[in-house]
Amino acid sequence: MSENLSSGTDDPLSDAEIQAYRQEINELDRTIIEAARRRSEISHLIGRTRKASGGTKLVYARETAILNQYRDALGPEGVPIANALLQLGRGRLGQ
């Protein structure tokens, strides 16, 4: 993530504070992206194991529990995050 973007303030002290906060957000974004990628890989492994043993590809009760967990922790915005993570577990990445 570029550090050259405007902080949205002309005040030097506030600017320095915002840049420091942004560094922390950049680290959190890397953590989230890395966890999402790893999550997707494991989901694919689960799907393959289950299919190879003659089971179902998805377990809806488990998906619903995950959706509720994200909603409970993050509020309404947790729902699109959980849905996208579940979709990543079915889709392209990690195949």
Q: Which residues bind its own copies (CB under 8 A)?
A: 1-2, 5-11, 13-14, 17-18, 21-22, 24-25, 28-29, 31-33, 35-39, 42-43, 45-46, 49-50, 52-59, 61-62, 65-66, 69-70, 73-75, 77-78, 80-81, 83-85, 87-88, 91-93
Q: How far is the CB of 10 from its own copies (least distance, A)?
A: 7
Q: CA neighbours within 13 Å on the CB side: how many for 89? A: 20
Q: Which amino acid is at 3?
A: E
Q: What is the maximum span of the chain, computed from C-alpha positions, in angstroms? A: 63
Picking from 49, 35, 51, the residue whose alpha carbon sits closest to that of residue 88 is: 35
Q: How far is the CB of 62 from its own copies (least distance, A)?
A: 5
